[in-house]
């Protein structure tokens, strides 16, 4: 398999960290592709009509895109190391945490458009503040709702890669006043899957 990747994408990194945690990294060739809404990447568009990474290319089968779907697919390839609980509240807790992590990334990317990516004269302060509020509210929710003792699952992977991207992009910090979240993140960041997939590079619009 091949994974169309981007070294500064939190979504692509989530899929790759998942592959490491599932013991599947050796079956995947990682290929970096720069993508942006303002710069068309023909190779990525050929496999994903949205023109975004990550995309998982499977020999003889249709490509899979969106990090959530890629993780769900990879989970079926590692039956002895399942990272998405199959049933019960454990499943919904993991998927809910994944959804919050996805929302953190979405809000963070939107916030960057209103602070550094969009021409200054086109930025909208009210929208900037709204996205900032989403981040801060989510940090508060995570401080009390995050299960820091349970086994690793897809929600933890999504959250760790989201928070590390937030740190990487100098977005509103999550550490101050949130000791449980900070301790958990610092510990997860030391996992081999995270250390093997550092963020790097700048968005090319």
Predicted confidence (pLDDT) per residue in 163-175, tens digit = 999 999 999 999 9
Domain ranges in the chain are 2-76, 88-195
Pairing of strands 29-32, 2-5: parallel
Burial zone of 110 (CB within 10 Å; 0-12 exposed, 13-18 middle, 19+ buried): middle
Predicted confidence (pLDDT) per residue in 52-97, tens digit = 999 999 999 999 999 999 999 999 999 888 999 999 999 999 999 9
- Confirm if 151 and 21 have CB atoms less than 8 A apart: no
List the one residue out of 153, 149, 34, 176 whose CA is nearest residue 90. 153
Q: Is 72 helix (H, G, I), strand (E, B) or coil?
A: helix
- For residue 103, CA distances in Å to 92, 141, 169, 184, 188 come to 16, 13, 16, 19, 20
Predicted confidence (pLDDT) per residue in 112-139, tens digit = 999 999 999 999 999 999 999 999 999 9
List the one residue out of 146, 149, 143 whose CA is nearest residue 179. 143
d(CA 103, CA 109): 10
Average pLDDT, the chain: 96
- Starting at the earlier edge strand, list the strands of the sheet with 29-32: 29-32, 2-5, 55-57, 64-65
Fold observed for domain 88-195? Glutathione S-transferase Yfyf (Class Pi); Chain A, domain 2 (1.20.1050)
Banded pLDDT at 194 (limits 50, 70, 90) = very high
E strand or H helix that includes residue 156: helix 154-168
CATH 3.40.50.960 corresponds to the domain 2-76: no
0.75 cut: is pTM over it? yes
């Amino acid at each position: 398999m091949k994974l169309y990747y981007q070294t500064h994408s939190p979504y692509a990194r989530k899929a790759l960290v998942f592959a490491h945690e599932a013991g599947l990294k050796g079956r995947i060739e990682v290929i970096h592709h720069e993508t942006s809404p303002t710069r068309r990447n023909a190779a990525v568009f050929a496999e994903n009509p949205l023109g975004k990474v990550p995309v998982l290319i499977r020999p003889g089968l249709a490509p899979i895109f969106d990090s959530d779907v890629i993780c769900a697919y990879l989970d079926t390839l590692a039956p002895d190391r399942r990272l998405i609980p199959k049933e019960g509240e454990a499943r919904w807790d993991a998927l809910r945490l994944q959804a919050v992590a996805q929302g953190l990334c979405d809000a963070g990317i939107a916030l960057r458009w209103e602070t550094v990516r969009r021409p200054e004269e086109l930025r909208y302060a009210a929208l900037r503040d709204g996205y900032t509020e989403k981040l801060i509210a989510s940090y508060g929710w995570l401080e009390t709702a995050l299960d820091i003792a349970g086994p690793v699952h897809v929600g933890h992977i999504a959250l760790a890669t989201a928070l590390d991207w937030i740190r990487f992009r100098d977005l509103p910090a999550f550490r101050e006043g949130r000791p449980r979240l900070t301790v958990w993140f610092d510990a997860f960041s030391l996992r081999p899957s995270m250390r093997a997939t550092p963020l790097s590079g700048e968005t090319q619009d």
